Amino acid sequence: MSLPARLIRPVIADLEPYTPILPLDVLAARLGLPVERLVKLDANENPYGPAPRARAALANEPFYHIYPDPGHTRLRAALSAYTGQPVERILCGAGADELIDLILRLCIDPGDTVIDCPPTFGMYSFDTGVCGGQVATVPRRADFSLDLEGIERVASARKAKILFLTTPNNPTGNLLSPAELEQLLRLPLLVVVDEAYIEFAGVGQGFGAWVGRHENLAVLRTFSKWAGLAGLRVGYGLLPEWLAEQLWKIKQPYNVSVAAQEAAIASLEDRAHLLANVARIVAERERLLPLLAALPFLQPLPSAANFILCRVVERPARELKLALERQGVLVRYYSTPLLRDYIRISAGTPEQSTALLQALHTLI
C-alpha cells in the first residue's frame, strides 16, 4: 500500500475535490477588466460593507499581538442583548460555517445519517462527508417547500441524527413556517435551523427565540451578510445548553480572531446603521424583481433574503452566467441537477442593479 493510501482516511480520499471560488483580482485579469468594473452579485455579500464603528474598532484595536478571548465574553454579552438568549446558549465561530462543522464533528460517526433538503446551502452535505457521515437527501418539492412526509420517513428509516433547515433558504429565498418547524421538532433528532439571512426576512429574531424551549433545536447566525463582515469570519449559534457545553469542549480556543470579535461587537453597537443598509438591500430586491421578470428569458422567484433565484428559459443558464461574466457582472450558477436551469443574483446597490440590467438587456 502506498504511503498516501495508508495515511489518508478512505472517506476523505473518496471525496470530490472542492472547486474554490476565484479571487476577484484573478477573475478580473482573466476577463481583461479592472477589478473596480466587476459587479459582484454572486456570493450574497453586503455591498455597503462593515458599519463605520466596526471600521473604527478595527483601525484602533491595540491588542492584535495578544491571543483573542476564547470565551468570546464581550461578544456573547452583546449577542445576548441582541437575541434575547442567555449567554450560556451562545457560542461563536469563525463564521456559521465553523459551527456547522463543529456540530457535525460532535455528533456524526462514520456511517451516521444527516438529512439534507436540496436545493440548499452546500456546506451541510460537504461537512457531513468530511466526517464520513451519510447524507440522506430529501429534495424540496417543485415550489421549493419542504417534503415533510419525506423527511419523517427518512428520519425514522435511517435513524438520522441531524436535520439541516435553512430559512430563508439559500438559494431559493423561501421561509420555513412555524407550523413546519413545530412538526419537525417532534422528530428524535437535532434540528439545525440556519438563519444566515434572517435580518433580511422581516421576521424579527426568527426561530432564535425558540431556542431553549425545545431541547433539539439549534439556530445558526452570521455577521457575513447583514453586517458586511464576510471577510472577517464570525458567526454564532443559539444552542440548547447541553449542546453548547459539548461544543465548548471541541472548538479551537482561538477560533474567532481579535479583529472579528471587535468588529462584531462594534457592528451590534452600530446596528441602526446596518439595519438601514439591510432595508436598502431589501428595497433593491423588491425593485429588481419585476424588472427581472420583464426579461423574456428570466423567471425570478420571490425572496425573503438578499438574493433572487431566477429560472432561465429558452437558453442554458450556464451560458447566461458566462455572457454576464464577460461584461463583468458576476452571478451564481450551479451545475447541480436541481438547479441547472437557474441563476442566483444577489441584491446589491442601485448602481449595481443598473449595471446588471444593462448587461441583461444586451442579451435579449
| 96 contacts ligand PLP (rule: CB under 6 A) | yes
Q: What's the chain's Rg over C-alpha atoms? A: 21
- The piece of 5-13, 90-98, 135-143, 174-182 that touches ligand PLP (CB under 6 A) is 90-98
Going by C-alpha positions, the residue among 44, 89, 69 that lies closest to residue 264 is 69
Cell of 206: 426568527
Q: How far is the CB of 182 from ligand PLP (least distance, A)?
A: 21
95 vs 300, beta carbon nearer ligand PLP: 95
Binding part of the chain for ligand PLP, among 75-83, 94-102, 256-264, 326-334 by CB under 6 A, reads 94-102
The SS3 of residue 75 is helix
Considering only residues 229 to 248 of the shown chain, the ones binding ligand PLP according to CB under 6 A are: 230, 235
The H helix count followed by the E strand count for the chain is 14, 12
Q: Which stretch binds ligand PLP (CB under 6 A): 31-39, 64-72, 93-101, 209-217?
A: 93-101
**Is 159:108 a contact under the CB 8 Å cutoff?**
no
Q: Tell me whether residue 113 or residue 166 sits nearer to ligand PLP (CB atom).
A: 166
Minimum distance of ligand PLP from residue 43's CB (angstroms): 8
Least gap, CB of 202 to ligand PLP (angstroms): 17
Cβ contacts of residue 36 below 8 Å, gap of 6+? none
DSSP-derived 3-state class of residue 207: helix
Where does residue 78 rank: exposed (0-12), middle (13-18), buried (19+ CB within 10 A)? Answer: buried
Q: How far is the CB of 111 from ligand PLP (least distance, A)?
A: 25
Q: Does 170 bind ligand PLP (CB under 6 A)?
A: yes
Q: Does 277 bind ligand PLP (CB under 6 A)?
A: no
Which of 194, 199, 262, 284: binder of ligand PLP (CB under 6 A)? 194
Q: Cβ of 348: how many Cβ atoms within 10 Å?
A: 25
User: For residues 58 and 92, which CB has a smaller minimum distance to ligand PLP in the complex?
Assistant: 92
Q: 299 with 311: CB under 8 angstroms? A: yes
Does residue 95 belong to the site contacting ligand PLP (CB under 6 A)? yes
Three-state SS for 217-235 is EEEEEECCCCCCCCCCCCE
Rounded Cα distance between 358 and 329, Å, is 10
The interface region with ligand PLP, picked from 25-33, 89-97, 251-259, 325-333 by CB under 6 A, is 89-97
Closest Cα to residue 75, out of 278, 260, 248, 209? 260
Among 46, 68, 72, 97, binds ligand PLP (CB under 6 A): 97
Q: Kindly give the interhelix angle for 271-293 and 258-269, rounded to the nearest 10 degrees.
A: 80
Residue closer to ligand PLP (CB basis): 96 or 185: 96
Residue 167 as a binder of ligand PLP (CB under 6 A): the answer is no
Q: Helices 258-269 and 52-60 meet at what angle, rounded to 10?
A: 140
Interactions with ligand PLP, residue window 44-73 (CB under 6 A): 44
Between 271 and 332, CB nearer to ligand PLP: 332
Q: Which is nearer to ligand PLP, 216 or 224 (CB)?
A: 224
**Which stretches of the chain bind ligand PLP, using CB under 6 A?**
44, 95-97, 121, 166, 170, 194, 196, 222, 224, 230, 235
